[in-house]
Every structure is written in C-alpha cells, then in structure tokens.
Amino acid sequence: MNTNKVCLNCGSSELVSDRSLGGKMVCFKCGSSSFKNKSYSPLKNRKFIYFTIALIIFMIVIF
C-alpha cells in the first residue's frame, strides 16, 4: 500500500495493485484509478491561526 496518495473519488488511502490491469494502482474501496498526493500543508493551519489571532486582537481593541 502506498499511503502517500488518496483516491479522488472517495478519499481512501487504501490502494492496491490490480494484476489484471498490468499492476496499475486502483482504490480498494471504489475501484477508481484517480489519485492525488496527500498534502500536509501547515500553511492552511497557519492562515486559520493568524486569522484567529487577528480577530482576538481586533476584539480587544474594540472593547
């Protein structure tokens, strides 16, 4: 299993190699062959944290 990719259809990371398709990777749950790499982007979390901090500071300044 390759845990660095996820299925575009169902989001599962359970991928198998299908022997009938010449070893092509397919999703174990839905059978799709469309994948994307998992992204561990801390940038999205940072944006949320910065927004929260800015909102708190804004509330302190207002009150």
pTM over 0.75: no
Q: Are 39 and 15 in contact (CB under 8 A)?
A: no
List the domain boundaries for the chain.
5-62
The pLDDT tens digits for 11-46 are: 788 888 877 777 788 888 888 888 777 765 555 667
Annotation: CATH topology of 5-62: N-terminal domain of TfIIb (2.20.25)
d(CA 6, CA 12): 5
The token pair that represents 18 in the structure block: 């299908």
- Angle, alpha carbons 18-23-25 (nearest 5°): 65
Task: Indicate the length of the chain as a whole number.
Answer: 63
Given a cut of 60, whether residue 9 has pLDDT beyond it is: yes
- Residue 20: strand, helix, or coil: helix
